[in-house]
Amino acid sequence: MKGDILFKDATLVDARGKHGIADVLIGEGRILSLFGGEAKRTIEAKGLYLSPGFLDLHTHLREPGQEVKEDLQSGLEAAVRGGYTDVVSMPNTSPVVDRAEAVRALKEKSARIGFARLHPAAALTQGQEGQLLCEARALREAGAVLLSDDGRTNEDAGVLALGLRYAASWGLPVAVHAEDAGLRRGGVMHEGEVSWRLGLPGNPAYAETARIARDLEVVRYVWEGLGVRPQGETLLHIQHLSTKRGLELVRQAKREGLPVSTEVTPHHLTLTEAHLEGLDPLYKVAPPLRTKADVEALLEGLLEGSIDCVATDHAPHTEDEKALDLLRAPFGIPSLEVAWPLLYTKLVEERGFPLPTLVARFSSDPRRILGLPPIHLEEGAEASLVLWNPSQKRSVDPRGFASKAKYSPWAGWTLLGWPVLTLVEGRVVWEADF
């Protein structure tokens, strides 16, 4: 048996566990063997880990219309450098991605670029204005994988209910930015002791939890009252969960069997409101960084599975924008290139978080939300994989990012676990010197 690439002495780890050392033969876009074979290229992988490629459910690539912040070329390269083989792009661009032709254009251009595979999200409502629903069937047929008015909250519960019914009929989950705009008002950080001391307008935890509670009741109405059944496991996906109370609401809904899922970001797992003491807008994000108690609760939820997956909410802006004061700077943190080493270091190495569970939250679990089959390290499996170094220490240097957002709240942090090679369907799309 002859393949294209042989990973010699790679340590295998996927959602099902650590599987020891193997010689992994890749060819025809899949894993041909775990027992070696002849290949055109042999990669010495002793001491390196091989895992399924990561999928990010929540990425802002800014194209079309905001390419000064990010574009498909830079964003998809950033993704593969971070070990991501698949990314879901958000539709809050200029113009909004709310038509089938816009979805097709993104799919076609990303395929020509050839880094990570792009799965566009399309808007739930036309122009993301929260009033008229988009054509879910046409969007699905064009390649959209979910619907979302991300960046804006769905204020009209009736429109959300209709959207859930319509989207479910075409196999599309709906992702929501769960935040009550009236309670949030002009908040630029978490409302609490730090915001009061700094004299800054706060965004209370209740803005998130009030909207989650309402949205879960809308799901209950559609699920129990109307008998709507999604084609997959998820009817409603709650984005960037940030509060302990929000987690409690989601956990209870899951216990009751509601078809909901949720995600957590790297920044909500590793940063708190205290990082805003210096008034640095690098830490300004929506929803805001919360308390230490919220972070601990989110870590517990990620471990037990109440939180389904890690999603970056990669949100690049220009350096000039982020250099504005805390009141005027835009919300957002870029993290595609650091998400895996950050959480591997802070969760697995420093806190003993099970490595296979973290791999699952980056790979098989987000795939499940989209109705995609998991990738396991076994013969015949799709060879969309990441090779990473668990022992390589490197400081975060934003100036070397592929992303146009060359800044980071983690700049200077020393991390382990950096990806060194990414494969998409057996094709090397990026590799570092190693």
Residues 62, 31: Cα–Cα separation, whole Å: 34
At the topology level of CATH, where does 2-50+380-431 sit? Urease, subunit C; domain 1 (2.30.40)
**Would you place residue 338 in the very low, low, confident or very high pLDDT band (cuts 50, 70, 90)?**
very high
Q: What's the per-residue H, E or C state across 314-364?
A: ECCCCHHHHCCCCCCCCCCECCCCCHHHHHHHHHHHHHCCCHHHHHHHHCH
Q: What is the pTM of this model?
A: 0.97
- Candidate from 117-126, 223-232, 241-250, 353-362 with smallest mean pLDDT: 223-232
**Closest by alpha carbon to 64, among 88, 93, 87?**
93
pLDDT surpassing 80 at residue 1: no
Residue 151 has a pLDDT of 83
What is the third-level CATH fold of 54-369? Answer: TIM Barrel (3.20.20)
Look at residue 83 and tell me whether its pLDDT is greater than 80: yes
Is residue 434 scored above 80 in pLDDT? no
pLDDT of residue 231: 87
**Would you say residue 172 has pLDDT above 80?**
yes
Question: Is the pLDDT score of 387 beyond 80?
Answer: yes
Question: pLDDT for 123-132, tens place per residue?
Answer: 999 999 999 9
- The per-residue pLDDT for range 359-370, each reduced to its tens digit, is 999 999 999 999
Determine the pLDDT at residue 78: 98
* Residue 299 pLDDT exceeds 90: yes
Q: Could you give the CA distance from residue 178 to residue 154 in angstroms, rounded to a whole number? A: 8
Residue 23, pLDDT above cutoff 80: yes
Q: Does the annotation count 313 as an active-site position?
A: yes
| Residue ranges covered by each domain of the chain | 2-50+380-431, 54-369
Examine the pLDDT at 208 and tell me if it is beyond 90: yes
The pLDDT score that the predictor gives to residue 14 is: 98
pLDDT at 117: 98
Q: Which one of 14, 56, 313, 365 is the catalytic residue?
A: 313
Mean pLDDT of the chain, nearest integer: 97
Phi-psi region of 28 (alpha: psi -120 to 50; beta: other; left: phi over 0): left
Q: Compute the average pLDDT of residues 213-242.
A: 95
329 has a pLDDT exceeding 90 = yes
**91, 98 in Cβ contact below 8 A?**
yes
**Ramachandran quadrant class, 298 (left: phi over 0; alpha: psi -120 to 50; beta: rest):** alpha
